[in-house]
Amino acid sequence: MTYPAAAARFRRSSKTRRPEGPRKVIVGTTIFSLFDEAHPWRGLDYRLNEIAGRVDAIAADARRRYGRGPDLAVFPENSLNPRGAGALIERAVPLEGRVADTLGAKAREQGTWLVVCFNRLEKEKGRRPYVTNSAVLFDRKGRVAGV
């Protein structure tokens, strides 16, 4: 089924159409083991460094294959959280501080949008701490663009 009226709204004008066609978007992702007996939890700094290293690897691969870095690097759910026993609130991590600083710096360094999904510990004045399953989007300048 086609929707000609909707399609017409999204057509490029002759002023914006490029002879080589639309710009291709480079998306990189990776998977890795959640922490279990074979891959024990080594701490938040270890995991942040692992993610930063994988962003570097995604960027290097994109440059080798396509001549430029990735537009978007995406990491799976629970990228920063240890798996296993204990309450979820004990395994959640706050966005503020090390997480935002490290991942924002990596997005800025590689000039990519970065999505990292994790159980985020939130603390608001006057409320008990709570956990949200969050996907955090960092822009190319390393700022949090959305949660």
Is residue 94 domain-resident?
Answer: yes
Domains of the chain: total: 1
pLDDT band at 89 (very low <50, low <70, confident <90, very high): confident
Is residue 49 domain-resident?
Answer: yes
d(CA 66, CA 53) in angstroms, rounded, equals 20
- What does each C-alpha distance from 23 to 6, 43, 62 come to in angstroms? 21, 39, 15
Strands (E), 54-112: 72-74
Q: Against a cut of 0.85, is the pTM above it? A: no
Is residue 105 domain-resident?
Answer: yes
Domain that holds residue 92: 26-146
Is residue 84 domain-resident?
Answer: yes
d(CA 47, CA 40) in angstroms, rounded, equals 11
Q: What is the pLDDT of residues 2-44, one digit of tens each?
A: 444 444 444 555 555 666 767 789 999 988 666 555 556 677 8
Is residue 5 domain-resident?
Answer: no
Q: What is the DSSP letter of 13?
A: P
Question: What CATH number has the domain bearing residue 74?
Answer: 3.60.110.10
Is residue 3 domain-resident?
Answer: no
d(CA 25, CA 4) in angstroms, rounded, equals 25
